[in-house]
Structure formats: C-alpha cells, structure tokens
Amino acid sequence: MNEKSKFVRRVQFLSMEAFSFPKRVRLDTLRDYGTIIAFVALFVVLSFTTPAFLSLRNLHNILDQSAHVGIIACAMTIVIIGGCFDLSVGAIFAFAGSLAAIIARAGYTELGILTGISVGLIFGLVNGIIITLFRINSFIATLATSLMIRGMALVLTGGLLIVVTDPKFALLGQGRFLQIKYPVYLFAGFALLTWFILSRTTFGRYVYAIGGNQEAARLSGVRVNLIRILTFCLTGLAAGIAGVLTVSRISQGVADIGAGVELDAIAATVIGGTSILGGEGAIWRTIVGVLLLRLIGNGFNLLNVPPFYQGIFQGAIIIFAVALDTLSKRNR
C-alpha cells in the first residue's frame, strides 16, 4: 500500500471518528442525565397544572410512599451493577413483614421487628449461596426462591390477615420526628449507607469490577462468590426492612403484601441509569428513578388520570431507558 492510499484511509478513519464521537457523547449524556431532566420537567409541569402538588403535605407523602421501594431499589442497584438480579425481594418483603406482625401480636414488638429484618438477611444469604454454589442464573434462582418464600408466607399466616393493635408496633411506620415520618429518615439513611458502600469502599469497587468483567475480576484476585453473596445479603436485608416498615405503617401483615415491589425496584434502578448488563450505575441515579416513578403516580392521581395509563407511561419509560443503555454501549 503506497503512502497516498494510507493517507486516504487515515482521513476516512478520522472522519468516521469525528461523526461518531458526538453521537456517543449525546447518548451517554442522555443516559446519565435524562432521568434528572425528565424529573425536573415533570415536577415543573405538575407545579403549574395542579395547585395541590406543591403543598408540603403532598411532597412529604411522595417521599413517605417512596420509602419502601427506595430502600429495596438502593440494594438492587448494587446487585444489578454486580451483574445479577433478585426477584425474591417481594416475597421476602411479605414473609418478613408477616413474621414481624405475628410476633408483635403475641406481645413482643421489638423482637418482632428485629426478627423480621433478620429473616430478610438470612433469605438473602441463602439466595447468594444457592446462586454461587450451584452456579444457577440469578434470575431463575431468585424466581424459584420467590415462589418458595411466598408459599412459606402463606403457610405462616394461614392466608389470614394478621392485625396488630399494639401502638408501639405502628410507631416505626407512622411515627414522626420534626413532622417528618420515620420511613423517610430510614430511606435517606439506607441510601447514604449504600452510596458509601458502593462508592467509598473496596467492596464497592469489586462489585463494579465483577459486573464489568467477572472473569477478569476473578483473575485479579477478587473473591467473586463472596462478593456476590454479600450483595444478595444486602437485598435480603433491604427487603426485610421495607417489609417490616410497611406492615408497621398499616398495622397488619398478610402473605400477598409487596406483590410487584421487586419489579418497581428494578424499574426504578433501570430508569435511573444503572446498566442491566452490569458494571455501571450509581445510588443517586436510582433515587431519582424512584422519585420519578412516584411523581408519575402522584401526578396522575392529582390529575384524575385513569390508573391504567400510568402503567403504559411507566412501561414506555423503562423501554426507553433500556434501549438508550443498549445503544450507548453499542456505540462505544
């Protein structure tokens, strides 16, 4: 190949790079900040279309109603960044809450709360061990354990509603400090904890490494199985906390509570910009995703929009977020 041909090929290559680079930048920017833009735009629109939206009571309700999904979504973010999914959190949510209600109804309120949270952690540990020991895909494994745990919740409650009359049990979900409900503080505290774990610890760096390239992480000396087990312990713990919190809020436990909460958590995580392929994501993005979903539901209610439109709108947002992530990776 003569010098002239080399020069022509080099110019063609540089021209292609010049055109593809801005496109890649636009896709990455839209993926990283699109959720924030959508959140701000929706917030502004609702502020002008319904006067009740900007009331302190309504804004507080948005945060309060986001707490249980937000706690689970923060832990789910770490699992997804690590390259896995956890579909069992909804069942753990129900079992932990129902067990806490049964023990509290027997007169042991504090023990019930601690036991419910601890059981969530134990279920998460079992999930992690099953997935790593038997090398089962996390989607299939947690789908199976979800069915088992939900069945155990039905056996535990006998399919009945477990009503707790002790006001101390309701304090966790209904109590206030400085006119703000405890679930909001718990959500904020858990978000800060998971942010610190993910962005300021060696464990967090290992999670990113495993999600980016599991085999490379293993060859670098990362104990992949241990890290993966710990991530599932975290989602189990989060589901236990959220389940106890929700049952405390309504002062009653039931086996089918929390149905679909795992899908809400995954949706919020994906909408927030965490890659479903693993290796990328952040807690703050997930929090914005949680609040965006809650904002949609709140706004639709205030505007008296039929609820089935809400599902259509949320589904479209999820498809857009996943498609954007896929296109962004494809153009790198």
Q: What is the pLDDT of residues 97-117, one digit of tens each?
A: 999 999 999 999 999 999 999
Residues 290, 296, 297, 301: is their CA dihedral positive or negative? positive
Q: Which of 142, 131, 127 is nearest to 224 (CA)?
A: 131
Give the Cβ contact number of residue 310 at 10 Å: 16
Q: What are phi and psi of 181, to 5 degrees?
A: -70, 150
- Token pair 């993966």 is at which residue? 228
Host H or E run for residue 172: helix 167-174
Query: Counting Cβ atoms within 10 Å, is residue 17 exposed (0-12), middle (13-18) or buried (19+)?
Result: exposed
For 18-28, the pLDDT digits (tens) are 444 455 445 56
Average pLDDT over residues 131-143: 95
pLDDT band at 127 (very low <50, low <70, confident <90, very high): very high
Distance CA 191, CA 16 (A): 42
Distance CA 151, CA 66 (A): 27
Tokens of 181: 């409900």
